[in-house]
Structures are given as C-alpha cells and as structure tokens.
Amino acid sequence: MTTFSTPIVQCPSCENKMYTYQLNSYTVFNTTVYSDGETVCNPPVMLDKNILICTKCTKPFWTEDAFLPEENNDLSIEEFPQAKDVHDLPFAFDSDFSLKLTQYYSELLEKAFANTVEREVYLRIELWRLLNNGIRNITDNSLKDKIIGIVKEVLSKDDNLDPADRSDLFNNNLKKLISLYNPNTDDELLLLAEMHRECGNFSEASRVLDQVKDIDNSFAYKEISKAIKIRNTKVFRLNKH
C-alpha cells in the first residue's frame, strides 16, 4: 500500500508557497539493483524529492530548508501550486536527459548550492549514477537487456559530449566524492569500494572490502570482489529480479 503526505513548502528565495508530495510507504513487486546503488522498482516509485524548483522564480532549493512551521499545517494544498522538481525542467523529455541533468547538477555544485558535505555527497552520487546510465545494462546477460543497453548507449551518443570529456567528468566527480565520503556501515563501505573500482583503483577497492564485517550473506560483496579481480570498471546489475 502506498501512502504519502502533502506538506506545504516556501521558496527560500521569493517566499512563494507550494505543496509537494512526500512518500511515506509503498509496496513494490520487484527491484533491480546495480553495483553503484541505483535501484529500479516495479511499479515505479516516486523519487525522493530532496531538491525542488520554485513555480514562481524557478530557482532550485533544498526541500528540508523549505518546510513551513507546524502552525501552518492547517493550510490547504488547494490554495497553492505543486512545487516542481528536476523532472519538470525544460529538457525533461529530451533523449539526452541524463546528460543535461548531469550538467544541471554540475552547475549547482559550481554555484555552491550544496552548502553541506552531506548535500555535496548526495549531488555527486546522483552525478555518478547519471553518468553510468548510458552503459548500465550493457553487461547484463539476457538478450533483451543487452538490446536495451545498446539502445541507451546509442542515444547517449546524441548528447554532443566528447567521450574524453565525459570520462574526465566521471573520474573527477568520483575522486571528489571519494574524498568526501565517510562510510559508517557495511553497505556504505561496499559503495565506497565500488567508487574505487569504477575509478580503476583496484587495490584500494580491495582494501575497503577488507573492512566489511558481514560478508557471509552479502551477494554484493561477492560480485564486487569478482569484478575487482578481473579488473572490470563498469557498473553492473547485482540481481535479476
């Protein structure tokens, strides 16, 4: 069962009031998980709206900075427009959406929009996964998945970004992310090891894996370890269901 709330937010720049949806609980039938932590659910689930866009001034803002005080909880959402998010940007339906969103996030980082380490980590993880989208399914086993992956790769070539520039953006972003990332759990250690692996830092990736405590039932640990041994730097699917 899917449940959600509709809090009122106020743009920090122009004080325009809007409402947004927050997902509280949901049910999915299956989930595809990738080595970089990306998950794809069926049925699709509304993404966490950490960043919203004002309907009036069109400036982005962090959702958690915009909630109105509790005394405003009696306001009706019918009085206000729905806040926009990155999927409402002008390029949302372009074939190179992932690349343009990457550029959008890169510009936010350049403008110091991420004003805490946690927020910068969030944006850089989003960049990492967006840049992986073009090859996300290429290494999957089924013919259908390979065809889908090839189509995605072909479409990504329409983005007018030189492969060398894409590689530089990918590597520079991951290096900065690694320098900021501070893992506290086994899952976070696995993600850090994956960052090193995709950068080609195989010895460092192995060193991070050695710090994972609960490995007996960790399929992700085993698969990332295999990828390190064969010196594979590509993102791959961890499960088939």
Residue ranges of domains in the chain: 1-88
d(CA 217, CA 190): 13
- Closest C-alpha among 222, 171, 225, 179 to residue 202: 225
- In a 13 Å sphere around the CA of 151, the CA atoms on its Cβ side amount to 7
Q: What is the value of pTM for the model shown?
A: 0.84
Tell whether the model's pLDDT for residue 218 goes beyond 70.
Answer: yes
Asked if 68 and 8 touch (Cβ cutoff 8 Å), the reply is: yes
pLDDT digits (tens, 9 = 90+) for 82-104: 999 999 999 999 988 888 999 99
Phi, psi of 238 (to 5 degrees): -90, -25
pLDDT digits (tens, 9 = 90+) for 21-36: 876 555 555 778 899 9
Q: How confident is the model at residue 227 (pLDDT cuts 50, 70, 90)?
A: very high
Beta carbons within 8 Å of 37's beta carbon, 6+ residues apart: 125, 129, 191, 194
Supply the pLDDT for residue 148. Answer: 43
Q: Which segments within the chain are labelled E, that is strand?
A: 3-5, 8-10, 17-19, 22-25, 30-33, 39-42, 51-53, 60-62
Question: What tokens were used for 101?
Answer: 């969103």
